[in-house]
Amino acid sequence: MEVELQKCPMQKLIHYLVIILSLSFPATSNAQGQDWSLKDEITLWKSNDYLKHAGIGIYLQNAETGEVLAETDPQLSLAPGSTLKLVTTATAIEILGSDFRFETELCYSGEIKHDTLFGDLIIVGGADPALGSKYFKEHYLKNHFLDEWSTAVKELNISHITGNLITDATIFEEQMVPNTWIWEDLGNYYGAGASGISVYDNMYQIHFSSPAVAGELTTLKYTKPFIPNLEINNEVRSSDVNRDLAYVFGAPMVNQRTIRGTIPKGRNDFIIKASVPNPPYLLAWNFKSRLSDAQITLGGLIESQQSNLKDSSTHLIAKTTSPPLLDIIRVTNHESVNLFAEHLLKYLAYMIHGQGSTKKGIDVITDFWEKRGIDMDGLFMADGSGLSHFNCLTAKQMVQIMYYMKNQSPEGENWFSSLPYVPDGTLYYFNPINFPGKTLRAKSGSMTRVRCYAGELITHNKQPILFAIFLNNFNCKQSQAIKLVEGLLVTISKN
C-alpha cells in the first residue's frame, strides 16, 4: 500500500526536499533503490490538489528486463480515451499482419449484349476504412478510384445499364455506431460510424458565413462534398469566442441534421466537419455521376442490399485495394482516427466469426490477449476507438500488451513505429526540449475529465520504460492535466 502524504505544509516541504535530493544523486545500483524513488515521486505527485478526487492509474515497466518499476495500488479500471486504439491496433496487426490490404470490388450481374448491361452494377464493400481518405490522397485520388471504375466499365463496351447501382455493405452489421456513443458525438466528424462501405473518411465539411455582430444567426453556404437529400436545420449563431463551438446532431442513415452552438463572428468561410449519414449511398451517388461523365447511362436506381451479393452469378469489373494495414494503423495511432479503429474492430470480428459487429470484435480482442497470458479481468470494452465513456481498463493491462508487442510479437517493431514521437501527432502539447532525440513516443487519449498516455520513454540512463498514465475526473483544465503528466514523465526520465 502507498503511504498517503500529510496535509501539513512543512511535512510536504520536507518530503519535496527528500525527493529532490534523491533525484539529484545517482540512483543506487539495486532495483529497490530505483523503485523507491519512482514510487515516492508518484505518491507525491498524486497529492496535487487537482487530483485529490481523481481516478489515477500508473504502471511503469522496464521494456527489456520486465522489471516493474512502479505501479499504483490498487490498479483501477479507468476510461482510457483514445489510448484504447493501442489495444485495437495491436490485435489487428497481430491477427492480420502489417501487409494486409482491404479490397473493394465493382461487379456486375446479368449479361452484356452489344453495348448494354442487362443487369445491375454492384459495389461490394470489403470494409476498407481508408477508401478515398484524405490521409491517402496519393493512393486513392491521384488517379481517382472512381475514374478507374468508370473506365473499367467502359472497357467492357457498356454504354447503358438497365438495372440498378447496388451497394453491398453487408460485411459489417447494419448498425454503424456502438450503442454507448453519446448523442453529442454522432453527427460530428469524430463520431462517424463504420460501414462495410465507408468513403472519404465518412466526413463532409459544412461552410458558414457569420455576421460581424455576436449573437446573430449564421448562414449555411454549402457542404463539401455535396450530400444528396441532406436536410439541415441551422441554429448556429455568431460569437465573440474565436473557435468552433458548433455541434451537429443526427443519427446514422438519417438525412436530417440540426446544428447548434456558435462560430466566430465576422467570418466569410468558416468550416465545421460532420459525419456522413449514409456512406454507401454517397459513394454510389458519386460513382453514378462519374458514369454519366463517361457517357454511361443508368436505367435503374441506387439501392442498398441487405444480403451478400458476391457469388458465382456476379462478375468482377474492378478492384480497389487499400494501403498496407501498417500504414492505416500509423494514421490511426498518429492522428487518432476513430473511424479507422472501429473498422479494425469490426473486421477482426468478420475474420474470426464471419460477422462484422462491435460485440464480436470485442470478444476477439479479449480472447486474443487472454490466450497470451494477460489477465483481462477489469477490462470493459464498448468500442475500438475509446470514444465511448463505457470503456475501462487498467494501466497494467495496457503496459502488459505493450510489453508483449515489444518482446514477443514478430510485428512489434512495426507496431511501435505507429506511435508518434514528441512533438508529432497528439503529442504536440509536450515540450520537445524535455524529450530530445525521440526519447518519448506515446498515444494520448482525452475526453471530458479524461487525460491518458501510454507508450515508451527512454530515460537519461538509456533505459527503455513502458508506461501508462491514466487520469479520470481531475479538477482542472486539460492543459493543466497535460502539464502534470509531462512533469511526471520528465521526472521518470531522470531516474
Report yes or no: 124 and 310 within 8 Å, Cβ to Cβ: yes
Per DSSP, what are the bridge partners of residue 320?
104
Domain limits, the chain: 9-97+327-493, 101-323
Provide the grid cell at 138.
Answer: 496519393
Helices (H), 145-278: 145-155, 183-186
pLDDT of residue 312: 61
Report yes or no: 220 and 234 within 8 Å, Cβ to Cβ: yes
Provide the grid cell at 251.
Answer: 443519427
Sign of CA dihedral 219, 224, 228, 230: negative
Integer Cα distance of 375 and 378 in angstroms: 8
pLDDT of residue 39: 80
CATH of domain 101-323: 3.50.80.20
CA atoms within 13 A on the CB side of 150: 18
Query: CA 340: distance to chain centroid?
Result: 6
Q: Cell 503529442 sits at which residue?
A: 427
Per DSSP, what are the bridge partners of residue 57?
470
Per-residue pLDDT of the chain (495 residues; tens, 9 = 90+): 332 333 333 333 333 333 332 333 233 333 334 444 678 888 888 889 999 999 999 999 999 999 999 999 899 999 999 999 999 999 999 999 999 999 999 999 999 999 999 999 999 999 999 999 999 999 999 999 999 999 999 999 999 999 999 999 999 999 999 999 999 999 999 999 999 999 999 999 999 999 999 999 999 999 999 999 999 999 999 999 999 999 999 999 999 999 999 999 999 999 999 999 999 999 999 999 999 999 999 999 999 986 665 566 899 999 999 999 999 999 999 999 999 999 999 999 999 999 999 999 999 999 999 999 999 999 999 999 999 999 999 999 999 999 999 999 999 999 999 999 999 988 999 999 999 999 999 999 999 999 999 999 999 999 999 999 999 999 999 999 999 999 999 999 987
The answer to whether the bond into 225 is cis (omega within 30° of 0) is yes
Query: CA 480: distance to chain centroid?
Result: 24
pLDDT of residue 473: 96
Integer Cα distance of 223 and 275 in angstroms: 12
Strands 121-124 and 103-109, how do they pair? antiparallel
Closest CA to 288 of 123, 105, 126: 123
Beta carbons within 10 angstroms of residue 314's beta carbon: 18
Closest CA to 466 of 406, 409, 421, 415: 406
Integer Cα distance of 191 and 157 in angstroms: 42
CA angle 24, 28, 31 (to 5 degrees): 125
Query: What's the pTM value of the predicted model, to 2 decimals?
Result: 0.91
Q: Which residues contact 128 (CB under 8 A, 6 or more apart)?
A: 102, 103, 104, 198, 320, 322, 343
Report yes or no: 475 and 48 within 8 Å, Cβ to Cβ: no
CATH of domain 9-97+327-493: 3.40.710.10
pLDDT of residue 42: 85
